[in-house]
Structures are given as structure tokens and as C-alpha cells.
Structure 1
Amino acid sequence: MTDWITTPVTPDLLRGALDTERTAHGLLPHRLPAWARKQFPDSYLGTVEAQPSGVRLAFRTRATVVELDVLSTKTVYEGAAPAPDGGVYDLLVDGRPAGRARATGGNVHTVDMATWAAVTEPGPPGTARFAGLPAGAENGAGDGAKDIEIWLPQAEVTELIALRTDAPVEAAPDRGRKVWLHHGSSISHGADADGPTSTWPAVAAARGGVELVNLGFGGNALLDPFVARTVRDAPADLISVKIGINLVNTDLMRLRAFVPAVHGFLDTIRDGHPDTPLLVVSPLLCPIQEDTPGPVAPDFDATELRFRALGDPADRLVGRLTLNVVRDELSRITARRAAEDPNLHYLDGRELYGEKDFAELPLPDGLHPDSATHRRIGERFAARAFAAGGPLAPGGG
């Protein structure tokens, strides 16, 4: 019989979260601070910012068995394929994959995509369990302890109830790695990746040897001022912002508003990070939006979930945004600013996923990549951004 040691889940055990909240069940990680959460009227953003993409527990222990009790809230969409029973938890030992588990149970938040009405059905807590872990460190540490990370499901709100192990636990020490803060849309959030370490930012961070703070918010990379202030105030050594796709597929603004909004977003970041390497990334290829404005909506005539753009391409002449319009403007804006800001850089998103990639690895629903494509995007981002001489090279570009 295992002699369990229960360790309270406290903020010092978390990485990748900018705030935490005590709930009736446990500790809820947030990716936006409390003051920012008061400034948006969109309940959907309230859901996605609490989905812990990139958030992980990080601790040292000699334990060979680890259990994490959680209460998750899974979002499902009427008309979409049923989601698996329980989100994926990835465990790393000394930085290397060492296990994957699911925690069943939890609440189910069902959304009707035709009306966006939603209802939540409560459910019981569940447990993610990892057994058979190596008894000693794999990093040569003399104390026999190992560094463990448990990455939380990127698309399930997760309240952390209890951590149980068969050996004592202490917070992982700071290994001195650079902190990379990234902001983007649902692709950066990890839509359709098969696990939290399979999202392209997680792949890129592992390749680049950096600590990830992922501010990818599904459907909500909209140049919101409170996000810019959050990035401004957050500790970060390297910053990237992926701008465009949500602005187009929500049909949120016209060209007249877009250009000054980008400048304002970058100005705010620079107020807190005047010299930090900052990479602006334009949209990946998305054929339904390359030259067709939004909004984007589910195609209810399709046999499986797919999206289509409803705008008129001719409306580009009156300032409606498309992905090509956004890329052209972002290229001009960053080139103009870089003349006085040598640490500002631009990356065309089609270098990460372009026409040849789409022919080989099409977007299953017309908008979001699968796990194989996430990995390709992450590997390419690491090669272009984090490699020696890259704009976000941890050792200096």
C-alpha cells in the first residue's frame, strides 16, 4: 500500500500562469490577471483565458507515483465530433516526455454554435495518475531527485484540488532559462493539438530551451488594450505576438482602425519592455480567408465541422480586412518602426505554414491544424526565431 504524501497546490508550484484564484474546489490558474478579467464583456474570453494552455506544475521529487486530483470543465460544441472523455495531462521528467494521462469526470459546458447559447452540466472531480516513474534523477543530480512537470490540458478549465506522491515534493528551482511570452489566437492556444505539449508554442519552447508563457486565446487575439497592458507588465525576456486571423474572421475592424490599433498595441508593450526582442508574426496560410473577409461561421451544410468565410472579396476596396491585407500592413508597420526599434522583427506566418504545407497537411476544419501540423509549425518557429542569429535567440540574436 502506497504511503501517500499530499502536497497543497500553491502558486509557487505553477509556471505559465499569470494569476490564480482560490475556488470552492481548489486552485484555478488564470492566464490574464484579475484586473484584466474585469475589462472584457465576452464570456467566451473568460472561458479561454482560464483554459491553462502552457500552464504546468513544476516540482522536484524522488516520487515514482504521482496523482493529481482536478475538477475540469470541458467545452463541447453541438454538431462537432464528441470529445474524448477527459483532457490530456502530459508529464515530463527532467524535460523529457515520461507519461500521458486523462482525468475523467468534470463539468461539461455545451455550446450551440448556431446561437452561441451554452449550458453547463456539473460533474465529479477526476484524477490524472502517473506510475512507474524512474526512482532517481535522469539529470545527474546528486540528491536523486528529478524535475517533474505536469502540463495541464490546453482546452479544459482546470481547478487543481490535490497533488499526491509517494515521496516529498518541493517547488522546482529556477534553471535560469529565458522566459518567452507569446500572444496569439486559437492556433497558438493549441486548438486540435492532441495534448498540451503538442501545441506549436510548446513544441517551439522545448526546441528553443525557453520557459513558455502562452497567451494564446481561442477567438480572442483582437488587439485588446488589456492584453497589451498584461504583456507590458509581465516578466519576459522574449516576446512574440501573432496578429490577424481573429480580426479577420470576426470582421471586427476595418483597415482605418487596424493600423493605429497595431501601433497602439506595440507602443503599450514597449512601455514595459522597451528593448526586449519582440517578434510580430502575421497569419499562417488559411485559404478561406486569404482574400475573403469575415465573418467566419460554421458550415452547417457540411457533413463534419467546417468553417467558411461569409464576406465579399470586393469589400477589400472599402477597408475590410483579409489575411493578405493584414500581412501587407504588418510588414509595413514593423519595417517603419524597426528603423527606430532594432529589437522589433517581423515573420510572415506563411513561412511556418504555407501553400505547400496546406497541400500536404490541410486544415481539417478549414481553420485549425492537427497535431502533425502543430509540430511542423513549432519546429519551424524554433528554427527561425530561437536558433543562433534568430530574432528571439535566447543567447542573443
Structure 2
Amino acid sequence: MSDPQVTVSGTAPSAAVARLLPGDPRLSFDGIAGWDRSDGAGLPLPLRMPVDRLDTAMSPILCRLARTTAGVRFAVRTDASELELEAELEADPGGSPLDVRVDGVLAHRWTGGPGRHRMAFPLPGTDGGPAEVEVWLPHLSVTRIGAVTLRGHRHLLAARRTGRRLLVHGSSLTHCVFAAGPSETWPALVAAERGWRLRNLGFAGESYLDQAVARTIRDTPADLITLELGINAYIGGAFTARSWGPAVCGFLETIRDGHPHTPVVVLTPLSSPERERAVNSAGLTLETARSLTAEAVRVLQRLGDRALSLVDGLTVAPVADARRLYADGLHPTAEGEHVLADRIGAELARIPQASEAGPGADEGDAAADMNDPSAGPG
């Protein structure tokens, strides 16, 4: 097999140089559960969920999507004049870009094809102190990471990772297939606006209440959980009127086993005009699927779940707004992502915080493991 293609761009003056590997805590990786180094000759892959039990979903598509790097990013505080990144991308038909943000402002957006790349990005540098430089990996691609090299710096520090931990799960509407870039998906925009930390578990076309996903959410520290449910199950005809509601209840109760007090928000299907009253192969319309999802939430609320909330997808994306919001009658455009961020963000901002610290390991230990590729796939 031939060596992967390497591309190089950008220049920087000779000065201090620091070459950081993915395990370096100064890179402050976030949005990940661990690392995959099963390809011994390749670069380490940041994982947004553990993959050791994914075979239980019996879906090769979900197994691949779980390895895409939606919501995965790293950040440093530095006054460097250049950042260089080694990365290897698998084939991605959408051409998902990579974003570099400096103090929250988009500074660079890079798009490349499959292969190994070396990208160099000039940074503004600062006279008054370090800036936060954050790199968002392509959200639709499987992206392996090599060395991160910084040049021309006096300061090189780990980024501060504070704020409410927001975990989102859903379909392509949460994976955000038409977003302009990984830092402009609605979950990323909501988190950035409020200073929250994002974990994105959106899987385009593969949100089917899989127990492997429920257990991952159960075991992941979070302060607020948002679940966009129903559209994939409706399109795929995967559940009947008899089975969908109980499956939603079971999914939520599995999550509750690890998050007894964490606020959980269920977002019912957004509008899709051509599907609202179209009967699928399991005998459901989208209207019915939405109603059953809402009723499942109300059942658990009646049984005492006071930290469970419901957001009607029609209030976020009404049928009347579909033409303005969607690229294809279902998926939001790049501009639509910003509209959804405003509307969903407003709903989430009203959810009270819980005192629960979150399940699993101590957060400091978890962060150390996530930034260490030798820790394995999680």
C-alpha cells in the first residue's frame, strides 16, 4: 500500500517550537470518551463513545458513525504565531471541514480529502497574554490525530474546561450533516453561547434507541442531557405503535440508572411536511410518532421523574418554517443550524441545574484518561 498523501500549507518565523502528541494534557481534548489505537501503524483516533460493545447494535453503519469526530476538539492557551496539525481522514462524501477558533472567533476553516495531511495555520499571537486556540475536528469524518506543533510562543498552557456539561444524542439532525463546519452545528453553537462543554452523540440515520448508546449516556458525566428522538425510527419503520413508546421509556430509564437527578430533555421530531401524515411501513405517521414520544415522556413524569422535560419539535421547527430552515425537507441548512441553536438553546437555558456531580470516575481522572491515547478505546 502506498504512503498516505501529505499536504503542507502555511509558514511561520523561526522561534520557540513545541511538538505535542495527543496524550499531552496541554491539548485539553474534550468531547471524547477515550482513544482507539487498534491500527498500530496509524494515528490515534479520538472516540466520542466506547466502541467495545457497539457490536451489540448489530449495525456496521453505527459502528462507523461512532468513530466520526462530531463535537471532538482540543484547545490550548497560547500566544503562538502558528499551529501545525497532523491528521488522517477517512473518506467522507460530505467533505466535512476542520475549524480553528481563536478566543471563540472562527479564524480558519480547512477542508481536505481522505489521506494524511499536515496543515499549518497562522495565529494572530497576542502581546497581552495567551489566547484560547481551539481546533474542532471534522464532524462527519473519521479523523485520526498526530502531533500538534506550535511555533513562536512564550506561553503554552492547557485550556480551561469549565461550564455545564451538555450531552446531546439524536439523528442526523443532531449530527448536523449540512452545518457549515463542526463549530457551527446547533449543539456546538448552543454550548459556545452559554460556556457549556459539549459531548455530541448524534448518529446520522442511526438513532434507534440502541442499548449500547443508552449505556454510554448512562455512564458519561453530564449536567444536562438532550435526546432528539423519533425521526430515524419513523423513516426506518423500526417500531410500531405498540413498541415505540415502551422502547422510549426503557431507553430513558437506562439513562436514569446513572443519572438519577440529571435534567434530561426529550426533543420530539422536528417538522417534515411531506412526512407528517404519510404512513410508514410500520403503520405510523410522523405526527403519531411525535405524539407517542411525548406520551412516553409524560408516563415517566407521572411515575415521578421530575427531572425529565419535553420539548415539542414543532415549536422548534414548525411546518410553516420548513422551507426556510431545511435543505431537503428534513435537514437544516447551515443557516438553519443557527436558527435551531437559538430556539433549542432558549429551551435548554430554562432547565434548572441539578446538584448531581455525575456518574463514573472522578472528573479529573476521566479527563486525564481521555487525553491519553495509551488508555485504550474506553
Normalised TM-score (structure 2) = 0.83
- 1:91 match: 100
Higher percent of residues as strand: 1
Structure 1 gaps of 5+ residues are 77-82, 107-123, 138-143, 295-310, 312-318
Question: By how many angstroms is 1:272 displaced?
Answer: 0.4
Question: By how many angstroms is 1:212 displaced?
Answer: 0.6
In 2, Cα distance between equivalents of 1:152 and 1:218:
17
- 2:215 match: 229
Aligned equivalent of 1:248, options 223, 229, 234: 234
Aligned equivalent of 1:17, options 4, 8, 32: 32
Higher mean C-alpha deviation, range 210-219 or range 164-173: 164-173
- 1:338 match: 301
- 1:36 match: 53
> For the Cα contact (< 8 Å) 1:53–1:152, is it kept in 2?
yes
Question: By how many angstroms is 1:61 displaced?
Answer: 1.9
Matched, 1:371 2:334: yes
Matched, 1:181 2:167: yes
- 2:159 match: 172
> For the Cα contact (< 8 Å) 2:97–2:182, is it kept in 1?
yes
Matched, 1:2 2:10: no
Partner-residue secondary structure (3-state), 1:289: coil
Matched, 1:199 2:185: yes
In 2, Cα distance between equivalents of 1:191 and 1:98:
19
> For the Cα contact (< 8 Å) 2:102–2:134, is it kept in 1?
yes
Question: By how many angstroms is 1:135 displaced?
Answer: 2.0
**Residues 23-45 of structure 1 deviation map (CA, whole Å, 9 limit, x = unaligned):** 42222011220323232322211
Which runs of at least 4 in structure 1 moved beyond 6 Å after TM superposition?
none
Partner-residue secondary structure (3-state), 1:160: strand
**Residues 232-286 of structure 1 deviation map (CA, whole Å, 9 limit, x = unaligned):** 0000011111100000111112121111111110110100001111101101101
Partner-residue secondary structure (3-state), 2:327: coil
Note the 1:51-66 alignment, pairs <5 A: 51-66=68-83
CA shift in 2, pair 1:293/1:136, >3 Å: farther
Q: Structure 2 counterpart of 1:259, which letter?
A: G
In 2, Cα distance between equivalents of 1:370 and 1:272:
35
CA shift in 2, pair 1:91/1:393, >3 Å: farther
In 2, Cα distance between equivalents of 1:103 and 1:374:
19
> For the Cα contact (< 8 Å) 1:10–1:27, is it kept in 2?
no
Aligned equivalent of 1:289, options 244, 253, 275: 275
Question: By how many angstroms is 1:357 displaced?
Answer: 1.3
- 1:120 match: none
**Residues 170-211 of structure 1 deviation map (CA, whole Å, 9 limit, x = unaligned):** 43233x301011111011001111100111111111223211
Aligned equivalent of 1:391, options 327, 342, 351: 351
Aligned equivalent of 2:109, options 101, 106, 128: 101
Aligned equivalent of 2:142, options 157, 168, 171: 157
Question: By how many angstroms is 1:103 displaced?
Answer: 4.8
In 1, Cα distance between equivalents of 2:68 and 2:169:
14
Structure number with higher relative contact order (C-alpha < 8 Å, ≥ 6 residues apart)? 2
> For the Cα contact (< 8 Å) 1:68–1:128, is it kept in 2?
yes
* Percent identical residues: 32
Partner-residue secondary structure (3-state), 1:288: coil
CA shift in 2, pair 1:150/1:344, >3 Å: same
- 1:125 match: 116
Question: By how many angstroms is 1:48 displaced?
Answer: 1.3
Normalised TM-score (structure 1) = 0.79
CA shift in 2, pair 1:188/1:394, >3 Å: farther
Structure 2 gaps of 5+ residues are 1-12, 357-378
Aligned length: 336
- 2:256 match: 270
CA shift in 2, pair 1:149/1:330, >3 Å: same
